[in-house]
Structure 1
Amino acid sequence: MVELTWYQNNNSSSTGYKKWYVRPVLKDMLGIHEMAQHMAEHNTPFSAGTIEGILTDFSKCIREQLLNGNSVKIDNLAIFKITVHSRGFKSIAGLDDKTGQTSVSAKNGSAVRRTRMLASATGDMMSEQLGLDVTFGWDTESKAKIEAAKAEIKENIAHLEQLGEEVEKEQQANDGDNGANDEAGDAGK
């Protein structure tokens, strides 16, 4: 189960300022070692050490393939590929239309501002499938906050009901006094 927690947007320049949102509680970060241990517990003929070695080599090989310009697809996990954030130029390669010289080279810091690895989910890891399979629940802190907010609302309702009853009694008392004054006024005519 994925636990959710509540947080309030306190960014005054945001359109969602003071609104409440949920986000998942990330419980733990599992590395290759922990995943190897976990996988070894699933009745595999391989030891945790063997699995860890394979996963370590596997991640190195994914990086190698990405740096060679390839993408890597792991069914039911993700497609990994390199992406770049580029600067904008008025002409291809920053060519000067008077001299024909380029002012840009194919490297980070020139044509490329930033390089990133992008992972796009595939199969069972795609958003639609995860949405069908995931179950959510509130974390302990959020449960307590929700219950406290409910209790405060109930107290406010009870207080308003009490005030309403007091106002009603006061009005009835005033109506009774006004009725007696009306009768006394009629008798004087």
Structure 2
Amino acid sequence: MSAHPVKLGGIHHTAYRCKDAKETVEWYGKVLGMDYTTAFAEDHVPSTGEYDPYMHVFLDAGNGNVLAFFELPNQPDMGRDENTPAWVQHLAFRVGSEEELLAAKAHVESLGIDVLGPTHHGIFKSIYFFDPNGHRVELATDIGTPEQYAELKRVAPVMLEEWSQTKKAPRHADWLHEIARKEHGLG
């Protein structure tokens, strides 16, 4: 087997649209402690050459991960894909422990932001809330064992193939749901 010609070194940045660049930078700093690192403002899009003034801001999400936003004042007001449920598209950030997750929840709630969770996903727990642009934000902490992660990797191809053929949830990782049920006293 030959080596793949593309050698990824991680995600350079991921970019979303925002309603107001300054408000977004301030919100991510206050709510999640993210440092504002870089901005680009152009009247013409470098990749296409078209006239479309924008402000592109970059925030440090830790460990070399960068979250970026575009404010596009000449475009129609931003919306969301109404055919996709609000819970599907989201930004998920890692925190180091369940204690950090609970402390983050208390902090976010103290700012008057509604928080859902913690939700137990078997191998991680997470909380959810929305930024001022309507983007769903998740904070998650891993709680699984190496054996659980290995088993999930082992059954992933089988689950994908079954899903591809049936479009129904494969039951190859039922044990994962059982962990969450027991956590909630349902099992």
> What TM-score comes out, normalization by structure 2 length?
0.18
Larger strand proportion of the pair: 2
Larger helix proportion of the pair: 1
Larger gyration radius, structure 1 or structure 2: 1
